[in-house]
Amino acid sequence: MKTAKILAILAVIAAIAATAQAATAASGHTKLLATTDPLHGGVSADLYLETTPGTGRIFIESYPLTKIDTQISTRFAKEAACSYTGKDCDKTDFFYTIRADAAIIGGPSAGAAMTALTIAVLNGEKLDQKTAITGTINSGGIIGHVGGLPAKIEAASDAGIKKVLIPKGETAYEMGNISASIIDYGKALGIQTAEVFTIEEAMNEFTGKTLKAEQKEIQISQRYSRLMSQLADGLCTRTKELRQKTEKSAAQAEIMQIAENLTIEGEKALNKNSAYAAASFCFGANVRYHYIQLASQNLTANEIKQELEKSGEEAERLWKKLKKPDTISNAQTLAIVLDRIEETKQHLNTSAEALRQGRKETAEFELAFATERLKSAEAWNTFYGAMQENPITQEMLKTACTNKLAEAQERAEYSATLLKSSTQSAIEHLEQAQNHLREEKYVECLHKATLAKAEANTFLSTIGAKEEEIPEIVKRKLEAAKAVIASQESKKIFPIVGYSYYEYANSLQETDKYSALLFSEYALEFSNLDVYFRQKTDKIQLQRTTKESKTTIYFAAGIIIGATITYAITRKAKRKKRKLIINRNSK
């Protein structure tokens, strides 16, 4: 009897061990709304997702085959969902399946649906099967604009869908020369239409629940605050000194006015404790005050050359003093310093070329810019070694560089697919990152790739957006950046550059919404760089440990079961033998 109980218990253990891997798998389904290719109207499709333990891979199977933009938007959707849920998706493989009755036009508009389904599967939630969504997915979880809404509403009606979620601001559409309401059109077909701006709003509609946790406040690093205040104070003190020494000139009245305005903005930012914003405004003012002073000195070409040589030597001295980065914060600091040194050299070269061409005013302005940029580099260098974090290696920097570069290139190609163009700045930064990678300058590569990705994301965020929607997009992106920064801070990592851009974007919201949009995107991208620096050895060890743990469970269960069976058989044999002996002795 005891043997039977032991065998039963061990059978349960073996069953648990055998199903341990399957227990972490999950699946889900939702409807996609699309237009057919060639465009003959709307069509619905079935989207399925299965997740299994893995290494973060994505697999897409579709009937009929989808286009490349569907594959790219699927990766964006997975990335957005993992960011939203805070899940470590490096340990999960994603299997997406799309089934449609007709060839559908590419997949950007499927991004929001894919994101919603991925969030639901990761969180163990079920999506309302009578609800569907159409829209792209952009950074910060923002639902982007799409076309073909009337056809998609018709497809939803044919598929038995009762509610369709559409991007905010797309309730009006053109039918011939008449403007019509997509909400009224939906009602006529028995469809409720709801506008959503973010993936969070979409998940509320799909599940009736608020799935996102309350956002934490940012705990600003005291070291960062102290150093950035010193940096801003230094640059703004220089602004006051240059201002006092600069005589007003009728010839430079316009530039003087710009300098005065920047000085005022710098003072306002200091009063609001927005140190990075203050430093940026004061830097701009310093360039212009310095230029006016140079212009008033009537320097000869030879004297300008001497100033150029002096600044070049100072830039070289600073470059030689720089150390190799050993933490994420030091890598970011080094990237900023190197970027400013490079800018210094570029403006010095531009100044020298202008001087050779006899364009003295341009030469003087470029010299002023180079000189002030170098001072900015020196100020930023004080951040090196300020944060105590886990160490990183050159190999980790290389991996981070290549991964970020691949993401940036994908974003740029995606925007080119949608609008046959991308931002010139993103393209230039991509090329620079690629060059840095070839030259094994991984810090510079990572920095330029991050800029490129942020710029491409900004471009994608504005596709179809109306002028009046930009402030709301900025607000949402800043909220997303804030969440990322707070999350990093909870891990004892303070994103120096990311927070600086976050602060600057906040200061620009009312005066320059497009710059605020760009810097909010910079804040998002520069605040989560730690995901590219997970310890390779830890990851390998984790994989090895996980594999060994599973093997150990199966092996141990096998040994226990085998030993128990052997024990039971042996015990039974002994009992039989003992009975035989007793029987013999009794005869």
More confident call, 162 vs 479? 162
pLDDT of residue 429: 94
pTM: 0.77
- Bridge partners of residue 59, in order along the sequence: 95
pLDDT of residue 24: 54
SS (H, E, C) 449-468: HHHHHHHHHHHHHCCCCCHH
For 115, which DSSP code? H
* Mean pLDDT, residues 237-266 taken together: 92
pLDDT of residue 462: 82
pLDDT of residue 577: 47
Tens of pLDDT along 515-533? Answer: 999 999 999 999 988 877 7
Tens of pLDDT along 352-364? Answer: 999 999 999 999 9
CA–CA dist 133, 385 (Å, integer) = 48
pLDDT of residue 187: 93
More confident call, 486 vs 305? 305
Q: Which of 127-141, 302-316, 398-412, 531-545 is the least confident region?
A: 531-545
Question: Does the pLDDT at position 5 exceed 70?
Answer: no
The SS3 call for residue 540 is helix
* Mean pLDDT, residues 298-307 taken together: 95
Closest CA to 149 of 183, 188, 117: 183
Which residues are within 8 A (CB) of 260 and not within 5 positions of it... i.e. 6 or more apart? Answer: 285
pLDDT of residue 202: 94
pLDDT of residue 175: 67
pLDDT band at 214 (very low <50, low <70, confident <90, very high): low
* Mean pLDDT, residues 329-341 taken together: 94
What are the residue ranges spanned by the domains of the chain? 25-207, 222-383, 394-533
Q: How far is CA 263 from CA 106, 237, 253, 271, in A?
A: 50, 11, 15, 12
pLDDT of residue 292: 95
Task: Evaluate whether the domain defined by 25-207 bears CATH number 3.40.50.2300.
Answer: no
Tens of pLDDT along 117-170? Answer: 999 999 999 999 999 999 888 877 888 888 788 989 999 999 999 999 998 888
pLDDT of residue 69: 57
Question: Does the pLDDT at position 416 exceed 90?
Answer: no
pLDDT of residue 19: 46
Closest CA to 82 of 444, 436, 484: 484
CA angle centred on 209, ends 206 and 213, rounded to 5°:
120
| Residue % of the chain over a pLDDT of 70 | 81
pLDDT of residue 211: 67
Question: Does the pLDDT at position 561 exceed 90?
Answer: no
pLDDT of residue 377: 96
Pairing mode of beta strands 92-100, 131-133: unpaired
pLDDT band at 8 (very low <50, low <70, confident <90, very high): low
Q: What is the mean pLDDT of the chain?
A: 83
**Cα 306 versus chain centre, distance:** 45
Q: Which of 75-89, 155-169, 305-319, 443-457 is the least confident region?
A: 75-89
Question: Does the pLDDT at position 270 exceed 90?
Answer: yes
* Mean pLDDT, residues 410-439 taken together: 83
* Mean pLDDT, residues 496-515 taken together: 93
| Residue % of the chain over a pLDDT of 90 | 52
pLDDT of residue 583: 47
More confident call, 379 vs 40? 379
pLDDT band at 550 (very low <50, low <70, confident <90, very high): very low
Q: Which of 128-132, 342-346, 550-554 is the least confident region?
A: 550-554
End-to-end CA distance of the chain: 30
Which residues are within 8 A (CB) of 198 and not within 5 positions of it... i.e. 6 or more apart? Answer: 140, 141, 142, 143, 476
Question: Does the pLDDT at position 555 exceed 50?
Answer: no
User: What sign has the CA pseudo-torsion 358, 363, 365, 366?
Assistant: positive
pLDDT of residue 133: 95
pLDDT of residue 153: 93
